[in-house]
Amino acid sequence: MGPFWTFILLYPEIFLAIICFFWFSLFRLIRQRQKSNLPVNWPVFGMLPFLVQNLHYIHDKVADVLREAGCTFMVSGPWFLNMNFLITCDPATVNHCFNANFKNYPKGSEFAEMFDILGDGLLVADSESWEYQRRMAMYIFAARTFRSFAMSTIARKTGSVLLPYLDHMAKFGSEVELEGVFMRFSLDVTYSTVFAADLDCLSVSSPIPVFGQATKEAEEAVLFRHVIPPSVWKLLRLLNVGTEKKLTNAKVVIDQFIYEEIAKRKAQASDGLQGDILSMYMKWSIHESAHKQKDERFLRDTAVGFIFAGKDLIAVTLTWFFYMMCKHPHVEARILQELKGLQSSTWPGDLHVFEWDTLRSAIYLQAALLETLRLFPATPFEEKEALVDDVLPNGTKVSRNTRIIFSLYAMGRIEGIWGKDCMEFKPERWVSKSGRLRHEPSYKFLSFNTGPRSCLGKELSLSNMKIIVASIIHNFKVELVEGHEVMPQSSVILHTQNGMMLLPWLLGFVVKYPEIMASAACFLLLFCRFRRRSKRIPTNWPVVGALPAIVANAGRVHDWVTEFLRAAAMSHVVEGPWGSPGDVLITADPANVAHMFTANFGNYPKGEEFAAMFDVLGGGIFNADGESWSFQRRKAHALLSDARFRAAVAASTSRKLGGGLVPLLDGVAASGAAVDLQDVFMRLTFDLTAMFVFGVDPGCLAADFPTVPFAAAMDDAEEVLFYRHVAPVPWLRLQSYLKIGHYKKMAKAREVLDASIAELIALRRERKAADANATGDADLLTAYLACQDEIGMDGAAFDAFLRDTTLNLMVAGRDTTSSALTWFFWLLSNHPGVEARILAELRAHPPSPTGAEPTRRVIVSLYSMGRMEAVWGKGCEEFRPERWLTPAGRFRHERSCKFAAFNVGPRTCLGRDLAFAQMKAVVAAVVPRFRVAAAAAPPRPKLSIILHMRDGLKVKVHRRQED
């Protein structure tokens, strides 16, 4: 083998780079000699470089291309990515596809999938479904009830909302982002027209409504689908990441709002016919298809379609209209002259609103609106898909399934369509010599579509815009801020954009020199992230997320979370590595706690993912949601409130402390040996909880510290549960498939737990059968067995219910109490002046450091909340029981959303009083008899779902009489 081939085999990338360089150079040279401004169809990449380079002013570049190409041009995307499409602005082609051959050019399945946010509504439907919905919509829009309601709504909103808002801004001389104002106002109007309800989007404080933000994000996601290969966005949808994740979240918000409105309207069904669209659809019928109106999905899709169709058209057109008024003051002056003498209604603040009937004669005003729509159509393109092979009027052959995009933006700027003055803003072109409105064929002026799909709301939209424009122009003078550049934004809707003069050059440079720009981007990314690290906020790196920060702070995770929550105003999103459970919002804000745990409790259930992670707890009260949780909570509340049970708890606690804990500590004190107080308390609370739940003392707390399989299995399960929170999902699934590691450990722990609980249940049943009239047993298992008929289960189902219920009670009773007692005695050893009645330890060191909400997306850090100066004041990190006492010496109450150690809202811990009673009993039994001396070094919290101490609490115990 010669040296040439050896070089190629050793360095193939260099040889490939040389070949590509010469190939693209030759291709560029050929194109330059052709002296054409049409996009270059590069090998492999197609016309993608042209699209990327001109993305931010794509509408104008498309218009330039179509001028040179004779109004029709085939765009080729990258190889193998199915991104080829025909783009046109030829009126003859429009008429051919939208009218003469309407059935051969449906929206198509690809369009419907791309706009799946609209469901099966009128805007995406085809064939029979479209025909039915079209007939229904025509019936609604022609109804006098609806038209009267729509006109009164726009007049009311203009006079009571829009004009007062602008009047406030005018009085203070404030700059106004007019498109944002119109977007919110038109969303409010459209929502009112569809649902007869107010979103109240527009106010002096200009809030961003959740529903409006969701529709905006949905628009952005749909645009993204248009400019990337279908395989890419479908993969993103499958993985639920990027814009597809935003779209999914937006769908949830939109559906929630709409289904709530449908439910409200159904509840008001007997209140008589209303004029809003939803009421009309729900109460009117069309022959054989009447049953469809009551289908909620149909109503949802219909409502979404009308909202998206209505909100953008008005807002975008009005924005461009007032921009043109600023550029053409003579047009504004002529409109003002036309409005003189027309009747208007007066609203508070001496503001005048014109009614629709009085504006019928305002021909020039409507001409100016139509001229705005010609140059700046709200929807800059339409899309069709060829059902069969066809030949267009200009001779272009179209294959089956070809996507055809009609550029409305370019159509308004073609000299062959609108004449030599096509680029000028001239409302006069819409007025005839006799002063009447001039008609133009709809396939030439496509802003309201054409053919069978012509917009049914055309007259309504124009009426709304005329009312708004006339009212604003009559009351205010709108001026463009000096130096503010306006250009169309790349979107499915023609929004305005404040572009930068540098942007076209920059994008061209990116296309030519991607390796330089990639290096610069990486440098800037690293620079920004290192700057962010200086603020103590964890860095969310690409691929690995915040994993480096998590690993670096693994030994002090709770204090680290507290630090970055202080820097991040008590809330921050932490991203996991790709493949991990997902992004997590961590918060210590009491307002968030109250919002999720109380005010919006129904919207934040435990969720299926939480139940799957804590599957060892079965269907018990910790995992349950909905009716199952409600039933279990009612039953548990009744049993825990029973006087016999509470008396038995008090007696059992006293007996265990006197016969178990005190003698054990007495022996330790006599020997002078060190003891792990955390282990002692975990054994004590395990025994006490078993006595309360099963009526049996397992003997875990004894002088020889025996190993009890039940308790050991609970420890193993707790360790695995924490591991599931931090390990990547694919790794967990692999362990599950291979039955190794933590999966194997959990399986063994479950076997022990199930066997232990089954044995205790059988023992209790035997005891009950032997003495059917016994009334002395007051444990919870006996109580649950006694109410089997009420529970409504038998056989294996009832056994599973008993197993899940008792295990949940064991977990609740053992870990939280033992953890609190351990921290209490450490604090006590460092604060000898503090006496028994101390609650603040639970604030500073809550038994459960975090509370996870649905799908682990939200984590409430109780540990951090207790250390936030904004929550507890400047002494938040000091151990000060006095904060819980009033000047009168009484106990001070704090809101549960601020002190969430016992949870908040409907899930507030039922055993709170029982836990306090136990802890007070333990403290009262230990403190008078013994002095506990702990090491001076502060203990470190253990990484766990319970706030244990990492190495336990090694102490020496001294009898009080020895001091």
Which DSSP category does 574 fall into?
A: E
Distance CA 625, CA 782 (A): 25
Cα-to-chain-centroid distance, residue 376 = 33
In terms of Cβ atoms closer than 10 Å to its own Cβ (0-12, 13-18, 19+), residue 156 is middle
Neighbours of 426 (CB within 10 A): 19
Contact 546, 564 (CB under 8 A): no
Q: Residue 400 is encoded by which pair of tokens?
A: 């089956």
Cβ neighbours of residue 31 closer than 8 Å, sequence gap 6 or more? 40
Helix (H, G, I), strand (E, B) or coil at 600: coil
Distance CA 908, CA 911 (A): 9
Distance CA 860, CA 848 (A): 10
pTM: 0.51
Question: DSSP 3-state helix, strand, coil percentages of the chain (rounded to 5)?
Answer: 60, 10, 30
Q: Residue 608 is encoded by which pair of tokens?
A: 């299926």
Q: Give the residue among 958, 961, 907 at the shortest CA–CA distance from 933.
A: 958
Distance CA 89, CA 412 (A): 9
Distance CA 784, CA 767 (A): 15
pLDDT value of residue 832: 56
Q: Residue 624 is encoded by which pair of tokens?
A: 């349950």
Contact 286, 251 (CB under 8 A): no
pLDDT value of residue 330: 93
* 10-residue averages of pLDDT along the chain (963 residues): 55 59 60 63 74 72 83 80 80 87 81 84 82 85 86 88 85 79 85 85 67 84 78 86 89 90 78 76 57 70 84 82 88 91 83 87 91 86 84 86 83 88 92 89 84 82 88 87 56 40 37 44 48 59 70 68 73 69 69 69 66 73 71 72 76 77 77 78 78 80 80 77 67 76 81 83 78 65 76 79 77 71 68 46 43 46 68 76 77 69 62 67 72 70 62 74 54
pLDDT value of residue 662: 76
Pairing of strands 487-488, 390-391: unpaired
Q: Residue 615 is encoded by which pair of tokens?
A: 């599957």
Q: Residue type for 217, please?
A: E
Distance CA 351, CA 160 (A): 10
Distance CA 632, CA 615 (A): 17
Cβ neighbours of residue 850 closer than 8 Å, sequence gap 6 or more? 859, 860, 861, 862, 863, 945
pLDDT value of residue 845: 45
Question: Which helix (H) or strand (E) is 186 found in, with range?
Answer: helix 178-195
CB crowding 313-346: b at 16 or more within 10 Å, else e: bbbbbbbbbbbbbbebeebbebbeebbeebebee
Distance CA 849, CA 838 (A): 19
Pairing of strands 496-497, 850-852: unpaired
Neighbours of 158 (CB within 10 A): 23
Q: What are 123-153's pLDDT values in tens digits? A: 878 888 888 888 888 888 888 888 888 888 8
CB crowding 730-759: b at 16 or more within 10 Å, else e: eebeebeeeeebbbebbeebbebbbebbee
C-alpha distances (whole Å) from 828 to each of 824, 837, 840, 952 are: 6, 11, 12, 16
Contact 194, 303 (CB under 8 A): yes
Q: Is 455 annotated as a binding residue?
A: yes
Distance CA 724, CA 136 (A): 53
Q: Residue type for 532, please?
A: R
Query: What are φ and ψ of residue 954, in 5° steps?
Result: -80, 120
Contact 725, 613 (CB under 8 A): yes
Distance CA 338, CA 342 (A): 8
Q: What are 532-566's pLDDT values in tens digits? A: 444 567 777 666 677 777 767 766 666 777 777 77
Q: In degrees to the nearest 10, what's the CA dihedral of 276, 279, 285, 288?
A: 120
Query: What are φ and ψ of residue 458, in 5° steps?
Result: -60, -55
Contact 376, 488 (CB under 8 A): yes
Pairing of strands 674-676, 954-959: antiparallel
Contact 955, 933 (CB under 8 A): yes
Distance CA 68, CA 707 (A): 87
pLDDT value of residue 850: 42
Strands (E) located in 324-418:
344-347, 351-354, 381-385, 390-391, 397-398, 403-407
Cα-to-chain-centroid distance, residue 173 = 36
Q: Residue 753 is encoded by which pair of tokens?
A: 């737990």
pLDDT value of residue 784: 76
